[in-house]
Structure 1
Amino acid sequence: MSEASPAIRIYSTAVCPYCVAAKNFLKSQGREWTEVRVDLDPAEREKMMAITRRTSVPQIFVGDFHVGGYDDMMAMHRAGKLLPLLDGQAPEAGA
């Protein structure tokens, strides 16, 4: 297990309140992320849809793990599963 936290990637658009909420939550946890603006790059939107099978934003990844959208991330947080994931622990099966 590496000591470094996994990279966080957020697929988002400029006018998405849930994207802003997700980034504000991650900021409150002292986390940094890479933002992929699918409204500026249609190829990235196609890539996001191909790997998530979803069209909505945000789509949040921690390392290679697809967390989902803002509601999915907050549900993981309430279940106590998000912070361990952010700290580099592998997600439990079925998480």
Structure 2
Amino acid sequence: MLKSIIKVFKRDMKSTLKNKMTMLIVAGVCILPSLYAWVNIKECWDPYGNTNNIPVAIVNEDKGIKFRGQDLNAGNKIVEKLKDNHKIG
């Protein structure tokens, strides 16, 4: 079974290499997805590159907790980090 599969594959490859139109189609099928991926990756590479003009509003309703003698307030820490981030308006 495997030998017959390999035999058919080799025959098809030989006939593909002999026909110029078939080679053109095979090359197109190989190159077009690469071009699509290249354009897509280039456009999505830096999604935060142009976000500095977008206004952002933050609502922090975190009350915080006291855990093992320390006051923990994750909401305030996140707000501080966002204020330091100049990539977002």
> Is TM-score (shorter-chain normalized) higher than 0.5?
no
Q: Which has the higher contact order (CA 8 A, sep 6+)?
A: 1
In proportion to residue count, which structure has more helix?
Answer: 2
In proportion to residue count, which structure has more strand?
Answer: 1
Question: TM-score under structure 1 normalisation?
Answer: 0.20
Return the index of the structure with the highest Cα Rg.
2
Question: TM-score under structure 2 normalisation?
Answer: 0.20
